[in-house]
Amino acid sequence: MAATATGTGTATGNTASAAASTVSKMPIAKALNQSLRKAMEDDPKVLIMGEDVGKLGGVFRITDGLQKDFGEERVIDTPLAESGIVGTAIGLALRGYRPVVEIQFDGFVFPAYDQIVTQLAKMHARALGKIRVPVVIRIPYAGGIGAVEHHSESPEALFAHVAGLKCVSPSNSSDAYWMMQQAIESDDPVIFFEPKRRYWDKSEVDTAAIPGPLHTARVARTGTDLTLAAYGPMVKTCLEAAAASQEEGKSLEVVDMRSMSPIDFDTLQKSVEKTGRLVVVHEAPVFLGTGSEVAARITERCFYHLEAPVLRVGGFHSPYPPARLEDEYLPGLDRVLDSVDRALAY
């Protein structure tokens, strides 16, 4: 792990905390759990809903202990029906609640896609702003855990494409802690993509920090020769690529995008105006993915600064492969470095 001065583990805008007791190292999973706990303490309208989120604490234990402490009225084990979960969450939001919905795995969100796209995303606009539907949909997503089919997908572009939704993904524990609370506070529906293979990665969380705005990107490592843009699970891979490049005398900047809708193009633009080169990395298929939009917009904004075309590294236009092949499919260190070399060769 390439820890740098501006590396993982610090919230944007964090000033060194005087009270050391508010800072601790914890896995992303625990940061999410603590964040949900805090949100439930702060606002009695916050509810948790999903399959197995109660006694079991979710299959990844993100809601561990919450039902015990907040009761079955607020941490609700639901029938096994994703459209029903999101549809009833919308109804609860209309009644004034702030439901946080867990979809057990990325590949199981699609029964709820209709409710999310046709109802959740549009309801505020259809009412000309007179009602709000503050629903958070948590999706443990992406691969790298050797899972069976439908448990490793990265469907974020399918949601970021939909007006009315916001999409975010934390890459470290501090962001997991703060972004979750900010998503819950948001009056818009937020799809919260949790990088499941990083759940157990530990980094620092300062629970007294003042977080920056939810939909801003963060420069995770500064550099001068090329910008790597990523979010969620790929930020770590990009930081590793930057560390490896450093040894070869190349200075890579890493931007943790954090939000896929809206995308903080200003931070990306600033970085690319400095480095002149951009490689966007995500696990999702490259074709029509988040990286395609970043490439188009940054080309438009930074046309005269670019020394090379914006390159994208990501999954292939194939179904997510069986676990024994996922290392081929996922953009690992070597594939990222290959694109870095190609961009630098222009």
Under the criterion CB under 8 A, does residue 236 sit at the interface with another protein?
no
Under the criterion CB under 8 A, does residue 96 sit at the interface with another protein?
yes
117 vs 244, which CB is nearer to another protein?
Answer: 117
Q: What does the alpha-carbon distance between residue 20 and residue 17 come to, in Å, rounded to a whole number?
A: 7
83 vs 246, which CB is nearer to another protein?
Answer: 83
Under the criterion CB under 8 A, does residue 166 sit at the interface with another protein?
yes
Under the criterion CB under 8 A, does residue 6 sit at the interface with another protein?
no
Under the criterion CB under 8 A, does residue 124 sit at the interface with another protein?
yes
C-alpha 197: how far from chain center: 12
Shortest separation between residue 168's beta carbon and another protein, angstroms: 13
Shortest separation between residue 147's beta carbon and another protein, angstroms: 26
Candidate list 1, 15, 22, 94; residue touching another protein; CB under 8 A = 94
Candidate list 42, 69, 149, 187; residue touching another protein; CB under 8 A = 187
Under the criterion CB under 8 A, does residue 145 sit at the interface with another protein?
no
Q: Tell me, residue by residue from 262 to 291, as one string, x for binding to another protein by CB under 8 A and - for no binding.
A: xxxx--------------------------
132 vs 342, which CB is nearer to another protein?
Answer: 132
Options 163-171, 173-181, 233-241, 337-345: segment touching another protein (CB under 8 A)? 163-171
Residues 54-93 that bind another protein (CB under 8 A): 73, 78-79, 81, 83-84, 86-93
Beta bridge pairs of residue 261 = 167
- Please provide residue 101's backbone torsions phi and psi, each rounded to the nearest 5 degrees: -100, 135
Q: Tell me, residue by residue from 191 to 230, as one string, x for binding to another protein by CB under 8 A and - for no binding.
A: ------------------------x---------------
202 vs 218, which CB is nearer to another protein?
Answer: 218
Q: What does the alpha-carbon distance between residue 270 and residue 278 come to, in Å, rounded to a whole number?
A: 11
- Look up residue 262 and give its two tokens: 């809206």
Judged by DSSP in three states, 75 sits in strand
Residues 125-144 that bind another protein (CB under 8 A): 125-132, 134
Shortest separation between residue 245's beta carbon and another protein, angstroms: 30
Residues with a catalytic annotation lie at 151
List the one residue out of 191, 195, 192, 110 whose CA is nearest residue 152. Answer: 195
Under the criterion CB under 8 A, does residue 111 sit at the interface with another protein?
yes
Judged by DSSP in three states, 333 sits in helix
Shortest separation between residue 121's beta carbon and another protein, angstroms: 9
- Look up residue 288 and give its two tokens: 């029509």
Candidate list 186, 237, 245, 269; residue touching another protein; CB under 8 A = 186
Contact predicate 123/87, CB 8 Å: no
Candidate list 95, 249, 324, 345; residue touching another protein; CB under 8 A = 95
- Look up residue 167 and give its two tokens: 């999409």
Cβ density class 122-132: b for 16+ within 10 Å, e for less:
bbbeeeeeeeb
- Contact set with another protein (CB under 8 A): 73, 78-79, 81, 83-84, 86-97, 111, 114-115, 118-119, 122-132, 134, 163-164, 166, 186-188, 215, 261-265
